[in-house]
Amino acid sequence: MKKTKSNGQPLVAKTQGKGGNVGKPPSEIPQGNKDPVSKNSSSPSKPITKKGQKAQKEERVSKILAILQRLYPDARCALEYETPVQLLVATILSAQCTDVRVNMVTPGLYKRYPDAKAFARANPSELETLIQSTGFFRNKAANIIACCQELVAVHGGLVPKTIEELVPLAGVGRKTANVVLGNAFGVPGITVDTHVGRLSRRMGLTQETQPVKVETELMEQIPQPLWTIFSHRMIYHGRQVCDAKKPRCGSCALAPICPQTGVEKRGMPC
């Protein structure tokens, strides 16, 4: 039986509370703001515009360039040469071969064939024997002879200084042409070898896999005066840190700004 006041109204037990809540039943005590959207909540952030995205990417590229410059201030072409013809031949030999191996072969090669005319007259079998350790020696020998024959016939035995004239030569593609132009003549060019292509994708600079497309996208992002040295520094970094199979991301100075696209995580920072 419920207890009632003298006036007939039911008694309500007092509850603990502050101020005006004392004596009120629990159902009448304010339970806080039940509105799912708080009055103090901030409005959703606006999406980044294309202009903003471009600015962010440019800033990140600038940081990448600065870090690479700090890491490899003296980066240069690893192939040993004294003349443009020697560099052209060495670059043809470097296909599917290490620069170290090429540098072991070229001193004797340059002594035997000192210029384009000598290479143009080379006996294929003799040249093949001299360059055999670089791999694919028959194809490389044929390309070197054909290339130098064209240098003699069309360019007076000299290596041309434009990519339009270099690319049609036997054994010469854009990569070889950019190596020669950038290092023998100081004409800026981005060399997309396996290292430059791999690192560019990992760093989020491109999603392309075809070297020519990678080169085009990098040319749009890297200042032209830095094209050649950028290539050297990327190659150095690819050889020393960003290995194809086991990149050392944990000790990489670029890790904080690198999205590490395509890098397999193995339970460790990559």
List, by residue number, the catalytic residues.
175, 193
> Can you read off the two tokens belonging to residue 20?
């005006």
* C-beta separation of 92 from 172 below 8 A: yes
E strands within 119-242? none
**4 φ, ψ to 5°?**
-125, 155
What DSSP designation does 225 have?
G
Q: Choose among 179, 163, 176, 259: nearest CA to 227.
A: 179
Distance between CA atoms of 90 and 104, rounded to whole angstroms? Answer: 11
What's CA 72's distance to the chain center, in Å? Answer: 15
* C-beta separation of 84 from 159 below 8 A: yes
The CA-based dihedral angle spanning residues 174, 244, 205, 48, taken in that order and rounded to the nearest 10 degrees: 160
